[in-house]
Amino acid sequence: MTTLMNRSLAQADPEIAAVIADEERRLAYNLEMIASENFVSEAILEAMGSVLTNKYAEGYPGKRYYGGCEVVDVAEDLARNRARQIFGCEHVNVQPHSGSQANMAVYLAALNYGDTILGMNLAHGGHLTHGHPLNFSGRSYKIVPYGVTKDAETIDYDEIERLAHEHKPKLVLCGASAYSRIIDFERIGKIARDVGAYSMADVAHIAGLVAVGLHPSPIPHMDFVTTTTHKTLRGPRAGMIMCREQFAKDVDRAVFPTVQGGPLMHIVAAKAVCFKEALEPGFKEYQQQVISNARVLAEELSAAGFRIISGGTDNHVMLVDVFVKGLTGAQAEKALERAGVTVNKNAIPFDTQPPMKASGVRIGSPALTTRGMKEPEMKVIAGWISEALADPESESVRKSVRERVKALCERFPIYEARLVRSLAQTS
């Protein structure tokens, strides 16, 4: 007998089943080049879709406010131990629901409302939670922004030092959403110590590279390190905080009960799976390929006449100035989307265009690399991007690129079994 409890999704809710099938198709046949996105493994999807979603587990392993937590405690301990093994941190909290909530918890642990934060200018690559006026960070704290230099377009460490001495911030913040160069955590940590400030790195974007040593680790130099787990780290959509032992209690209290209630134990378990994958040799190979792919993309786009901010990339992301070709970022994003290439418009440092238009697009290699694409595919894709943007209004160019994108995607399948299954159900 079918009841409310034992139907398949297709039986229970055909509309949502169709949404999922449509999204599986969109992923399968488009080139996902949004730098903050990636595709999780089947194992991680399985953990996320598990019965652990049912459990209330407020508190921490061994010290919960609910009974019946002995099983989920094992999952959270596995996640914490693996995170410590990967990053070499003293303390870790794996409960933040997102990168934003991880950042909020650190601010609440370390600061009082109205304190001063020295953080990277959002218009130069920083993140909303680093002080946007509409974000809780900008509304709760006094924000002093630093940026990149006008010529090299790399972080202006001398400016950080000068502003730190001038404003005496309580927290010096680094980390970015659109910055393609190595960040000198050692220097920023030293600047913070010199003025008696706490230091924090938000490695949301580069965590996967840090995990395997392909970007220098912030852990030895920073009091607090936050991250998402779903970008280059390729885990479930969530956040995490690492810190020195001396801040452990404050951070744990800030996550629960200050910012959050019950943790998402299915997501915590999926983080444990993600960290296990990150400890396997294939993960380092993956991250190496992410970097090589980004480098080739940047070189090819540059050769095609686009301007890469700072002249190139050391990581998984690049900011591409499309205004040099007479297009706004918004126009480029639209034209590429119609051709099957998904990117996002992005302001470039010292942008002359308003934010909703912008002069650039942000492009990343993590998701395509997860599909198995390598340098030859990057060269081809850079050519298509260039072709689509040379004539953004042309229907024949759009169609021709779109067809080639689809054919390439078919050679590098993603979630193939799911796609086949849902196509069968919805046809």
- Give the H/E segment covering residue 359: none
- Residues 120 to 139: which contact ligand PLP by CB under 6 A? 127, 129
Residue 12: partners with Cβ closer than 8 Å, 6 or more residues away: 4
- Residues 24 to 43: which contact ligand PLP by CB under 6 A? 36
As measured in angstroms, the least distance from the Cβ of 139 to ligand PLP is 16
User: For ligand PLP, which is the closer residue by CB, 36 or 369?
Assistant: 36
When binding is defined by CB under 6 A, the residue of 174, 204, 274, 327 that contacts ligand PLP is 204
Q: What residue is closest to ligand PLP based on CB?
A: 99
Residue 175 makes contact with ligand PLP by CB under 6 A: yes
Choose the stretch contacting ligand PLP; rule: CB under 6 A; options: 66-74, 171-179, 242-250, 391-399.
171-179
Both structure tokens of 121 = 């200018």
- Which one, of 181, 179, 290, 190, lies nearest residue 234 by Cα? 290
As measured in angstroms, the least distance from the Cβ of 361 to ligand PLP is 16
Query: How far is 327 from 359, CA to CA, in rounded Å?
Result: 7
- With contact defined as beta carbons under 8 Å apart, do 187 and 133 qualify? no
- Residues 60 to 119: which contact ligand PLP by CB under 6 A? 98-100
- With contact defined as beta carbons under 8 Å apart, do 322 and 389 qualify? yes
- AA letter at 277: E
Both structure tokens of 190 = 């030293």
- Residues 323 to 352: which contact ligand PLP by CB under 6 A? none
Quote the strand ranges of 130-267, DSSP E.
142-146, 171-174, 198-202, 224-228, 239-243
User: For ligand PLP, which is the closer residue by CB, 34 or 419?
Assistant: 34
- Which one, of 95, 89, 107, lies nearest residue 59 by Cα? 95
- With contact defined as beta carbons under 8 Å apart, do 415 and 46 qualify? no
When binding is defined by CB under 6 A, the residue of 95, 228, 342, 346 that contacts ligand PLP is 228
Q: Which sequence positions are flagged as catalytic?
A: 56, 58, 202, 228, 231, 237
As measured in angstroms, the least distance from the Cβ of 242 to ligand PLP is 14
As measured in angstroms, the least distance from the Cβ of 210 to ligand PLP is 13
Task: Label residue 46 left, alpha or beta by phi (over 0 means left) and psi (-120 to 50 means alpha).
Answer: alpha
As measured in angstroms, the least distance from the Cβ of 101 to ligand PLP is 7
- Which one, of 119, 174, 153, 100, lies nearest residue 359 by Cα? 153
| Cα–Cα distance list, 340 to 30, 139, 360, 398 (Å) | 5, 38, 18, 9
* Residue 71: count of CB within 10 angstroms of its CB: 12
Both structure tokens of 360 = 């650039």
Using CA of residue 259, residue 261, residue 263, residue 264, what is the dihedral sign?
Answer: negative
- Residues 184 to 203: which contact ligand PLP by CB under 6 A? 202
Query: How far is 224 from 145, CA to CA, in rounded Å?
Result: 19
As measured in angstroms, the least distance from the Cβ of 102 to ligand PLP is 8
As measured in angstroms, the least distance from the Cβ of 130 to ligand PLP is 7
User: For ligand PLP, which is the closer residue by CB, 205 or 398?
Assistant: 205
Q: Which residues bind ligand PLP (CB under 6 A)?
A: 36, 98-100, 127, 129, 175-177, 202, 204-205, 228, 239
